[in-house]
Chains A and B, each alone.
Chain A
Amino acid sequence: MIEYLSNWLWTYIWKPLPDMPFGEWMETFIRWARDAWATGFDAVDTGLEFLYANLADGLLWLPSGVMVLLFAAVAWAAKGWKLGVGIGLGMFVVAWTPYWEETMQTLSMVLVSAAIAILLAIPLGIAAAENKAVSAVARPVLDFMQTLPAFVYLIPVVMLFSVGVVPGIIATIIFAMPPGVRLTELGLRQVDREVVEAGQAFGASPARILVRIKLPLALPTIMAGLNQVIMLALSMVVIAGLVGGGGLGSVISGSLGRLDIAAGFNAGLAVVLLAILLDRVTQGLSDRTPVARAAKLAR
């Protein structure tokens, strides 16, 4: 027994340490999953491809000049005429680069993956806020999802879904989701305890307290999470160009290969302007939530 223990200590604690095959385990799991759940992955693949292709076609259906005006109108509606003018100018610049089509493809990928990420993140955030056990499990998983280098996602995802747009979207969903969950949880936990108590004191059920009190009060924070999700999605979607994701990412990784400064700058400019559009519009929307408006009145 003692001998066994000292052997074990020698092998695993004392030098030289052996290499543990964590990576190989993951690979075995991914390969197994690919075969075992093939139909599931195929369905996801088809579904996401369908969503993406239709959205991209839709955004490219109208000529770019008209779309620029539409974007300006959206920004105007979300915040005000100043933002509308600014976004209009920015999108005109994008339309004047050779990459309008790629920009719209990138935007479609961002919208599809961010929408799915948010649909997953908000219920998970609610569960984490209401239940300590869920929160305790979710936290390390979210840390893992957020800090694992973005490129690393792409490898197994490509293996499961082959090259193309879909692995980019999947990797983006995983990468962009954590702040959505976190800020939903935070927003709900920060709701004034006394107001929740008032709901209970008047005999409201937990579901009603969630829908009528907690969610409206947490909405500005949840919207900040949504903004984060969209910005992270944009950054990941560009990286996804490496795996044939299409859009501006492909242009950028291509120009990196050819050291094509002009193409790289054009595409980079489009990314920046797209980022500003997405950021300001979502911020404008979060300022429009009833609670945020009421808070403004107090000042």
Chain B
Amino acid sequence: MPAIAVDSLYKVFGKGARGAVSQLESGVPRDQLSAKNVTAAVIDHNWAIEPGEIFVVMGLSGSGKSTLIRMLNGLIKPTSGTILIGGVDLGSLSARELRRLRREKISMVFQHFALLPHRTVVENVAFGLEIKGMNKTDRLERAREAVELAGLSGHEDKLPAQLSGGMKQRVGLARALAADTEILLMDEAFSALDPLIRQEMQDQLLDLQSKLAKTIVFITHDLNEAMRIGDRIAICDGQVKQIGTAEEILLHPADDYVAEFTADVDRSRVLTAEAVMEPCGTRDTSEFQRVESDVPVNELYEPVLNSKAPLLVVDDNSDPLGVVTPRSIIKSLSSEHETDAAATDAEASDGTSSDGKAVDNAAEGERQPA
């Protein structure tokens, strides 16, 4: 059973939301709805997340990603559609049952940390447990464990005001971990942090995930971040534009919109040896240096330069799959080559929609400052 499943999920804000949904269902684009004061935030989402997966929802501001994550724990009610959390339909729950579900199944990490300024780190971390009704000694003990897990040892009794942004978010993360829920919602959790700290936090999240195997829904506007941590990525702009692994999205963008995004992604980190290799043909490969198929390209530079022969890409059983040469690496890293699929896509749709271009430009304009 999927940990989270959504089915024809819509959220439209404003009066006349219902009517707007039926218009959207019949294919009217969201900027051409007849009701003037409605905003379609989430349009026809259909996807499911398996337990233990990191699912990243990526989109620009206004793409409905914050709304989406708040619907998953019932903070915002969908206009239509269903959300199943571990098979339970959120729409069928009373307010009390919903609170109970949040206490036991879902916790959340916030962009601006959302800590209580007058409570110490452990007291903040123990907040979820306090709501669960755990007694003080037990919850402080559990909180201390979570504090350690999040790498905050030694800061237990400080107040949030005494911590840096990265530290504060560790408190937010520890608070969510202490609640010990299967599902973790992370709303732009690292977006307010400095780039270096952000990378550190991403690594730590992956490290924790390898131990804890939570189901994580991670919201971000940064595709590099999405590709770094996501098992699967959903690129959203109201609708879901594409869902897939980092590699799938990079190599086969579904449309212009997605291709635009992938243009400035650090491809060498996402693409693996398997994705850049060429067929080995009939050459004698016995002398070639071997690399695993899932090694990222940026770890191939040195070996490929240091060996005169190409590298041999092998699978788990050491069977050869293909070869990597400097040429194949350079070819794979140039995005021109990779967006072939998108280019043909674009040509096909060029005549029909002048809209697509406008969206691209908007996307680009918005991405510049970031």
Interface residues of A (CB under 8 A from B): 192, 194-195, 197-205, 208, 212-213, 216-217, 289-291, 293-295, 297-298
Residue of B113, B131, B175, B185 with most partner-chain A CB within 10 A = B131
A232 to B115, CA, bound (A): 36
Residues of B within 8 A of A200 (CB): 75, 102
- Supposing A202-B128, A203-B101 touch, asked if A195 and B161 sit within 8 A by C-beta, the answer is no
Which of A204, A217, A291 is close to B131, meaning CB atoms less than 8 Å apart? A204
Taking A195-B116, A197-B70 as given, write out 7 further A-B residue pairs in contact, using a Cβ cutoff of 8 Å, ordered by the A residue number.
Answer: A194-B112, A198-B108, A199-B131, A202-B108, A202-B175, A203-B100, A294-B161
- Supposing A294-B161, A297-B161, A297-B162 touch, asked if A202 and B103 sit within 8 A by C-beta, the answer is yes
* Interface residue? B117 (CB, 8 A): yes
Instruction: Write the nearest CB–CB distance from A200 to chain B, whole angstroms.
Output: 6
Are A204 and B99 in contact (CB-based, < 8 A)?
yes
Are B161 and A194 in contact (CB-based, < 8 A)?
no
Return 27 A-B CB contacts under 8 Å, by A number. Answer: A192-B112, A194-B112, A194-B113, A195-B114, A197-B70, A197-B114, A198-B127, A200-B75, A201-B73, A201-B106, A201-B185, A202-B107, A202-B108, A202-B127, A203-B103, A203-B128, A203-B132, A208-B131, A216-B118, A217-B116, A217-B117, A289-B118, A291-B118, A294-B117, A294-B118, A294-B160, A297-B159
Instruction: Write the nearest CB–CB distance from A175 to chain B, whole angstroms.
Output: 33
Residues of B within 8 A of A195 (CB): 114-116
Residues of A within 8 A of B108 (CB): 198, 201-202
Residues of A within 8 A of B131 (CB): 199, 202-204, 208
Residues of B within 8 A of A291 (CB): 117-118
Are B101 and A198 in contact (CB-based, < 8 A)?
no
* Interface residue? B47 (CB, 8 A): no
Residues of A within 8 A of B73 (CB): 201
Residues of B within 8 A of A202 (CB): 102-103, 107-108, 127-128, 131, 175, 179
Instruction: Write the nearest CB–CB distance from A204 to chain B, whole angstroms.
Output: 5
Residues of B within 8 A of A205 (CB): 99
Residues of B within 8 A of A208 (CB): 131
Residues of A within 8 A of B130 (CB): 212
Residues of B within 8 A of A199 (CB): 131
B residues 42-72 with Cβ under 8 Å of A?
70
Which of A201, A217, A289 is close to B102, meaning CB atoms less than 8 Å apart? A201
Residues of B within 8 A of A293 (CB): 118
B130 nearest CB neighbor, chain A only: A212
Instruction: Write the nearest CB–CB distance from B191 to chain A, whole angstroms.
Output: 13
* Interface residue? B110 (CB, 8 A): yes
